[in-house]
Amino acid sequence: MLDVIVLGGGALGLLSAHMLALRGKQVLLLDRQGVGRESSWAGGGIVSPLYPWRYSAAVTALAHWSQDFYPGFGRRLLDETGIDPEVHVTGLYWLDLDDEAEALAWAEREGRPLFSVDVAEAYQRVPVLGDGFARAIHMPGVANVRNPRLVKALRAALAAMPNVELREHCPVTGFIQEDGQICGVTTAEGEVRAERVVLAAGAWSGELLGTLGLELPVEPVKGQMILYKCAEDFLPSMVLAKGRYAIPRRDGHILIGSTLEYAGFDKTPTDNALDSLKASAEELLPALKDAEVVGHWAGLRPGSPEGIPFIGELPAHPGLWLNCGHFRNGLVLAPASCQLLADLMLGREPIIDPAPYAPAGRLAQ
């Protein structure tokens, strides 16, 4: 019998499977389409919440652990698979923040390197910045990860493990319950059984839990982005102003994002969003007016209350574990979330206090 079935092949599902398989567990990962094709592919990959000081201590704890984990993890994946996730340390400038004082107070309290800088320094470091910005704060160590390559590397790592099976294009239709215990799932291809099931299906997690009569407060939140191709040295740092950001990849691609839309499961890119994102891009980096938009897409984030994910076993349904609801921070929170899940499942000392993420008391029935 399998040890664990993981439902969902995004960053959270792939990394959950990877960490459990490294501990010797026999793992089957199921995804309704090809792995890594939803939010994990569509996001920007900043290894920080956009405004870390606006989040609860629960999100901060996961983010800090993951930020320290990513550089070494990226190198290990490259060595193991030959695929570079491109953990690219550029730093991040926030411009003309309304809550700059709160940001600096948070950094001092948390011991994080975030500093107020003269805006002239920001213009010196990022000469392509648009005119008119008056204030800047800077966090030098922030990285971005090239998320499509991260999920590709994780998939390759799992495919090489003898105790892991990846089953793509295999939608799950429900859970198998016996004597009050969740002991598997039903799929279009039949039943699959395991000692434990991990639900890491992103924005679709609520629909699956609904088959048990549970109401998970996770809903799809549409985000649209655009992509430019510039010279490799065009943008030396990530920049963020008025809720929009620019992320440089190593090869000169520049990501601009993103919208926040409550539109159900509709992932259709829209002309309105394209126009809005282009306007933001040209305000931030005027030279982009002459650059070609080489990509425009939408993804569905798993929105949750306060962005605090659900990590842990469901007390009323033993055998069923959650690792979902990361909203806008799935990529930055994934390593810590998956390590915490593995610690709890394997009875190890958890890396951080698991209480804020426990599903108990947070779901309606």
Taking only the tens place, the pLDDT of each residue in 300-347 is 999 999 999 999 999 999 999 999 999 999 999 999 999 999 999 999
Average pLDDT for residues 15-28, to the nearest whole number?
98
* pLDDT tens, position by position, 83-98: 999 999 999 999 999 9
Query: Does residue 161 surpass a pLDDT of 60?
Result: yes
User: What is the model's pTM?
Assistant: 0.96
Q: Please choose, from the candidates 241, 259, 248, 281, the residue with its C-alpha nearest in 3D space to the C-alpha of residue 328.
A: 259
Residue 288's nearest CA partner among 362, 226, 335, 350 is 226
Domain limits for position 121: 92-140+219-303
pLDDT in tens, 135-152: 999 999 999 999 999 999
Average pLDDT estimate for 171-180 = 95
- The residue whose two tokens read 């490259």 is 78
- Rounded CA-CA distance 218/309 in Å is 9
Report yes or no: 29 and 221 within 8 Å, Cβ to Cβ. no
Residue 79 lies in a domain: no
Single residue among 282, 303, 324 that ends a domain in this structure: 303
Position 105 pLDDT exceeds 80: yes
CATH of the domain at 188: 3.50.50.60
Beta strand residue intervals within the chain, DSSP E: 2-7, 27-30, 88-89, 92-95, 115-117, 136-139, 143-144, 164-167, 172-178, 181-187, 190-199, 219-229, 238-241, 244-248, 253-257, 293-303, 310-313, 320-324
Eight-state DSSP code of residue 364: B
pLDDT at 10 over 60: yes
Count of domains observed in the chain: 2
- Are 157 and 291 contained in the same domain? no
362 domain-assigned: no
Asked if 12 and 326 count as a contact pair (C-beta separation under 8 A), the reply is yes
Task: State yes or no: pLDDT of 365 exceeds 80.
Answer: no
- Shared domain for 131 and 227, answered yes or no, is yes
The Cα–Cα gap between 143 and 154 comes to: 19
Quote the radius of gyration of the chain (alpha carbons, Å).
Answer: 20
Q: Please tell me the predicted confidence (pLDDT) of residue 364.
A: 67
Q: Does one domain contain both 330 and 214?
A: yes
